[in-house]
Amino acid sequence: MIVNRKPLTFWERLYLPAILGGFKVTLRHAWRTLFERKIVTMEYPEQKWAVPPDYRGAPYLVKDQEGNTKCVSCQLCEFVCPPKAIKIIPPGPAGQTADRPNAEKMPLEFEINMLRCIFCGFCQEVCPEEAIFLQKDYSFTGTSREEMIYDKEKLLALGGVHGGIQKWKLKLEEAREQESFPVKL
């Protein structure tokens, strides 16, 4: 495509109108910034942006409404984790049993290395118990590498209670409904 460029007029060739225009635009912006406070900068630690609902932040372990650990240490998340950030130590044959019914065991130790984690969400995707969720935290600080490895207590404390989802209760209710369902032949 050929664009015809009009030859510049005398005034345009003098640069002066363009210079004045430049002064006008910059002055307008400076005025707005200084006196009308139209600033695009968000001053981070004081102001924070609204985290969108599906945001993939740090993965934390969650408890159910009764305060029981949901994780059953199946180690699927450890297996699927691309950067190998998750390390699970299962309780072993003689170890502690789960603190809720419908679960065989719970992890003895569950560690996520936040320096390795890439927040991909595979662990949340793969978890059969809906025990790990990527939550809205995006800013971590620590003074050492060891501090950035979050252990089970810390993950559970940060994760909090995940309301609404109690998978086995749901299954139980479904099963009961099916039992009482009038079967028509």
The residues of the shown chain that bind another protein, judged by CB under 8 A, are 19, 22-23, 25-26, 29-30, 32-34, 38-41, 43
Cβ of residue 49: shortest distance to another protein, in angstroms? 16
What is the distance between the alpha carbons of residues 106 and 19, in angstroms, rounded to a whole number?
72
Identity of the residue, 40 or 185, whose beta carbon is nearer to another protein in the bound complex: 40
Cβ of residue 6: shortest distance to another protein, in angstroms? 19
Give the sign of the dihedral formed by CA 139, CA 64, CA 156, CA 84.
Answer: negative
Beta bridge partners of 110: 88
Place of tokens 């936040």: 114
Identity of the residue, 36 or 179, whose beta carbon is nearer to another protein in the bound complex: 36
Cβ of residue 10: shortest distance to another protein, in angstroms? 14
Cβ of residue 30: shortest distance to another protein, in angstroms? 4
In sequence order, what are the residues at sequence separation of 6 or more whose Cβ sits closer than 8 angstroms to the Cβ of residue 159? 60, 61, 62, 63, 132, 133, 135
What is the distance between the alpha carbons of residues 176 and 17, in angstroms, rounded to a whole number?
81
Length in residues, the chain: 185
CB 150 within 8 A of CB 88: no
Identity of the residue, 36 or 54, whose beta carbon is nearer to another protein in the bound complex: 36
Identity of the residue, 17 or 95, whose beta carbon is nearer to another protein in the bound complex: 17
Identity of the residue, 20 or 172, whose beta carbon is nearer to another protein in the bound complex: 20
Compute the half-sphere exposure of residue 127: CA atoms within 13 Å on the CB side of its CA. Answer: 21
Cβ of residue 132: shortest distance to another protein, in angstroms? 37
